[in-house]
Amino acid sequence: RRKKMVERVTELMGTPERIRNIGIVAHIDHGKTTLSDNLLAGAGMISEEIAGKACWMDSDEEEQARGITIDSSNVSMVHSYDNQEYLINMIDTPGHVDFGGDVTRAMRAVDGAVVLVDAVEGTMPQTETVLRQALKEGVKPVLFVNKVDRLINELKVDEVEMQIRLGKVIDKVNKLIKGMNEEAYKNGWKLDAAKGTVAFGSALYNWAISVPYMKSSGITFKDIYEKCTTNDMKWLGKNSPLCEVVLDMVVRNLPNPLDAQKRRVPIIWQHGTPDTTEGKSMLACDPNGPACLMVTDISFDPHAGEVSTGRLFSGTLKRGTECYVMGTALKVNRLTQVGIFMGAERIEVESLPAGNIAAVTGLKDAIVGSTVSTLREMTPFESLKHYSEPVMTVAVEAKNMKDLPKLVTVLRQVAKEDPTVKVTIDEETGEHLISGMGELHLEIITGRIARDKGVEIVTSPPIVVYRETISGTAGPVEGKSPNRHNRFYIELEPIAPEIVQKIKDNEISMDLPQLERRDVLIEAGFDKDEAKNLVAIEGTNMFFDMTKGIQYLNETMELVLEGWREALAGGPLADEQVQNVKIKLVDVKLHEDAIHRGPAQVIPAVRSAVKAGVLLAGDTLLEPMQILQITVPQEHMGSATGMVQGRRGQVYDMKSEGDTMTVVGKAPVAELFGFAGDVRSATEGRAMWSTEFAGFDMVPAGMLKEVVTEIRKRKGLKEQIPEPADYLA
């Protein structure tokens, strides 16, 4: 039976018309895990497979040595629709709002998304975030309204009210789609129950219903309502099975890779040229073209080591295929295994053609987001955008000194697996610092290090990540090298928010070909001279070389940029990352003799000039903010608004819906420690809440000194904030 399944999967894998690559996106707790587990079980891919695996692993050592493991994050199933079989590859998306970056990368791999919304709660901020990310990636949505049983059993709505409520959810999601991408909305992406792009049901009780299914089965809305009120979930599960209704909707409405790639390649490969070999091949999803793979996930498998998962847009992968990872030293990475998912297992296959989700080993230079190709040179896919930034840091230490080398390895893995995590080493103390999206994110990561990776660690309490920026202009500022023979003159000014956004969206990027970059900059408002002379972008900072004809500067530029980067890594105020600063190098004096203008001279000269310049241009401290959305029963509204206001927060929206009230506000991350516990006790555990990254805001002037002093103390810096002169002496 198992063998037969492998045959079916491998056959389907070579028939792109019969493939659907999808993801389920939802707000936390709306039922994503329940839905995916029940779909998998319903498609007959779970219990038997896992049972089968256990005995077959024992009996077949060789198979085991090949390294096959359960990876619940990616699953695939075979679904029959209209007498034909389809291969449905489903990529997991993370459940928590803090992990925005992960949703984006999962969306890169798929062509369609099942947007899942709790019928009682309706859309939540995270529903909006994940939907936006799907649409940005050109991923087509269908809607599943879950927990319909609760409408009837808990809220006791009548049949009419139920229809009205479901209609409201659809309207709300449509409004979001229209607002995010009106063109797509008008061209058929509007959700429409009558057209079958919406299904309702209960993932928990394993049933669902859609208009097409009502038509084909003769089941009516009334039947559903009645069986629900009498709590006859068995009847529903048998006569209107979740798996069939939802997967039918997927097969019928979500695109296959052939159709999807035609539309999506121009979106996710904006800088590529369509009429190159690789361009044509990706647009056609051609298995005979060069291999073009986008890595969207990396995990560590105890048997196989590092497994890279990604979407193969063109070509065919086999064991032994020689690939190159763009943006690296371009050493040959030879694939040691090529696999796909069957059920929740990764199985090795002979060859894997375009249009599928590949799971391969041997890509030692790849990270999440890498473009991999059999071509030595290929324009990379659009880089994955992270809508959140790390806002909190913990320091970790190995409990036992002997585990230190293991900890170092594990931290490297963690950073590879989750690109929204930053791992750094504090140069002074030698501590390992992990930065993440919030308290919960860090708890999950540190928990995983201890549990899955088996390294016992001691974790410091989390601290907030701040930023520094400038409020005015300065310059020219002169930076002298220690030997005084080299001098650098720079001017500083803040970068406008619209430009910062363009950098974040990769619209302004060093990846652009030079001429294109110049045009983009001019269009964004830079003058011609500047547009020509942008030499580097670091974070959201820009460096322009406005000098002309200075001898030796070319060969010294790397050192200049190194000094600039070092200064940006820790600003003068609190040694926090500097952002949104534009620097123009306006004049340079260099020693004729290369020996006297080496790294030890140039780097500190530029670093000092930048740090002094930042102070002169009005260094300010920024703190991360979070949007809070809290839903509570009416009687707890006072405590919910109090929770936000009491934390230097601002309430900017309140909505009531029946007997519940939703409060939306914004508050600094620094004030949110212990928020979960406080909300729980203030509302007797009856609140639902979520947070979302909302950028950095200026620390209020009245608190600045106190905050800066505290950071400096914590970091072991001199209490006194440096003066420009301290850097220019």
Q: Which is nearer to ligand GDP, 147 or 502 (CB)?
A: 147
Closest to ligand GDP by CB, 27 vs 53, is 27
- Could you say which of 155, 184, 204, 367 contacts ligand GDP (CB under 6 A)? 204
Residue whose CB is less far from ligand GDP, 28 or 721: 28
Are 325 and 363 spatial neighbours (Cβ–Cβ below 8 Å)?
Answer: yes
> Is 591 labelled a binding residue?
no
Q: Is 386 an interacting residue with respect to ligand GDP (CB under 6 A)? A: no
Residue 147 found at the interface with ligand GDP (CB under 6 A):
yes
When asked if residue 152 is in the footprint of ligand GDP (CB under 6 A), the reply is no
Region of 41-49, 145-153, 304-312, 533-541 interacting with ligand GDP (CB under 6 A) = 145-153
Q: How many residues bind ligand GDP (CB under 6 A)?
A: 16
Q: According to the annotation, is 366 in a ligand binding site?
A: no
Instruction: Give the range of 147-155, 482-490, 510-518, 586-594 binding ligand GDP by CB under 6 A.
Output: 147-155
| Residue 27 assigned ligand-binding role | yes
Q: Based on the shown chain and the rule CB under 6 A, indicate whether residue 462 belongs to the binding site for ligand GDP.
A: no
Pattern 87-106, binding to ligand GDP, x per CB under 6 A? --------x-----------
Amino acid at 542: M
Shortest CB 70 distance to ligand GDP, Å: 18
Burial of 200 (0-12, 13-18, 19+ CB in 10 A): buried
Which residues, 6 or more positions from 614, have their beta carbon under 8 angstroms from its beta carbon? Answer: 468, 470, 474, 492, 567, 571, 572, 578, 581
Identify the CA nearest to 588 among candidates 562, 550, 625, 616.
550
Tell me if 203 contacts ligand GDP by CB under 6 A: yes
Query: Min. distance of Cβ 31 from ligand GDP in angstroms?
Result: 3
Find out whether 546 and 492 touch, Cβ atoms under 8 Å: no
Q: How far is the CB of 117 from ligand GDP (least distance, A)?
A: 11
Q: What is the largest CA-CA distance in the chain?
A: 91
**Separation in Å, CA 391 to CA 331, 348, 539, 695:** 35, 40, 15, 9
For β-strands 292-301 and 371-373, DSSP reports them as antiparallel
Asked if residue 79 belongs to a known ligand binding site, the reply is no
For residue 446, the minimal CB distance to ligand GDP (Å) is: 21
- Between 114 and 295, whose beta carbon lies closer to ligand GDP? 114
Q: Considering Cα of 49, then 54, then 60, then 64, what sign does the dihedral take? A: positive
607 lines the binding site for ligand GDP (CB under 6 A): no
93 is an annotated ligand-binding site residue: yes
Q: Which helix (H) or strand (E) holds 440?
A: helix 439-451
| 347 marked as part of a ligand binding site | no
Structure tokens given for 452:
């899955």
Q: Is 150 in the site for ligand GDP (CB under 6 A)?
A: yes
List the x/- string, 12-41, binding to ligand GDP by CB under 6 A. Answer: --------------x-xxxxxxx-------
Choosing from 129, 133, 146, 540, the residue that interacts with ligand GDP (CB under 6 A) is 146
If the CB atoms of residues 32 and 386 are measured against ligand GDP, the closer one turns out to be: 32
Query: For ligand GDP, which is the closer residue by CB, 37 or 511?
Result: 37
Q: Which is nearer to ligand GDP, 151 or 669 (CB)?
A: 151
How far apart are alpha carbons 269 and 275 in whole angstroms? 13
Residue 337 in 3-state DSSP? strand
**Could you give the CA distance from residue 331 to residue 335 in angstroms, rounded to a whole number?**
13
CB of 207 to ligand GDP, least distance (A): 9
Least CB distance to ligand GDP at residue 116 (A): 7
Q: In angstroms, what is the minimal distance from the CB of 393 to ligand GDP?
A: 26
Residue with Cβ nearer ligand GDP (382 or 692): 692
Cis peptide before 476 (omega within 30 of 0): yes
Tell me the C-alpha distance between 438 and 626, whole Å: 10
Measured from the CB atom, the residue of 120 and 669 that comes closer to ligand GDP is: 120
Is 202 among the residues that bind ligand GDP (CB under 6 A)? yes
Residue 129: partners with Cβ closer than 8 Å, 6 or more residues away: 97, 100, 103, 387, 692
Q: Helix, strand, coil shares of the chain as percentages rounded to 5?
A: 40, 30, 30
> Which ranges in 181-276 belong to alpha helices (H)?
182-184, 211-217, 221-229, 233-239, 242-253, 257-268
Q: Which of residues 629-688 bind ligand GDP (CB under 6 A)?
A: none
Strand duo 619-633 + 660-668: pairing: antiparallel
Q: Is 152 annotated as a binding residue?
A: no
- What count of other Cβ atoms lies within 10 Å of the Cβ of residue 664? 17
- Strand segments, DSSP code E, in 130-256 are 140-146, 198-202, 207-209
* Encoded tokens for 614: 């930042």
CB of 565 to ligand GDP, least distance (A): 40
To ligand GDP, the closest distance from the beta carbon of 369 in angstroms equals 25
Nearer to ligand GDP, 145 or 708 (CB): 145
- Residues at the annotated binding site for GTP? 26-33, 92-96, 146-149
Question: What residues make contact with ligand GDP under the rule CB under 6 A?
Answer: 26, 28-34, 95, 146-147, 149-150, 202-204
- Residues at the annotated binding site? 26-33, 92-96, 146-149
